[in-house]
Amino acid sequence: MITSIILGMGAPTTANYIITSTIAAPALILLKVHPLAAHMFVFYFGIVADITPPVALAAYAGSGIAKSNPLVTGLIATKLAIGAFLVPYIFVYNPSMLWIGATAVGIIQTLITSCVGMTAIGASMIGFFLTNMNWFERGLYFAAGLMLIDPGALTDVTGLGILTMGVLYQMRKRKTERLSV
């Protein structure tokens, strides 16, 4: 991961893939990682380097448009994309996310639960979904998001259950806040 991020800093997409796939991917393949998963792992982290300080080219471009501090923008971008740092590990540990050995139903399930999981993780990192979150809600959303990103029936059902409780609590909390205003 760290090697791919360092190698991907400041490199355009095509060069990023060439660099990371020739240097970092063979190491993962030697560790018995599926070749497609290994290549996606290193490429994904190479691309994430565009929002990772200190280089953070995409964040610097965005800060120029927003007229904000580039370093702060890079740190916030990294915080918001923390889920992006987790997904490549799922590629390696459960390649069904890359449709390797997956059925049509499995692909649809993985797509939906992964998107919901990434949303939950993003909400937990920002501290807001329907209303502001306390530390406990943030922890629940993060845990539920992790479970939803990991393809599997048990983790999906558990993650959806936790997230459903969190959303219902957020709805009740928002209604209470509106009534008190």
Please, which pLDDT band fits residue 74 given cuts at 50, 70 and 90?
Answer: confident
pLDDT exceeds cutoff 80 at 181: no
CA nearest 48: which of 105, 103, 2? 2
The predicted pLDDT at position 84 comes to 80
pLDDT of residue 168: 95
At 82 the pLDDT is 82
pLDDT score recorded for residue 33: 92
pTM exceeding the 0.85 threshold for the entire prediction: no
Per-residue pLDDT at 53: 83
The fraction of the chain above a pLDDT of 90, given in percent, is 48
Q: 115 pLDDT exceeds 80?
A: yes
Q: Is the pLDDT of residue 11 over 80?
A: yes
What pLDDT shows up at residue 94? 78
Helix axes 135-149, 153-180, angle to 10 degrees: 150
Tell me what pLDDT residue 99 has: 83
Distance between terminal CA atoms of the chain? Answer: 47
Please tell me which residue, 55 or 170, carries the higher pLDDT value: 170
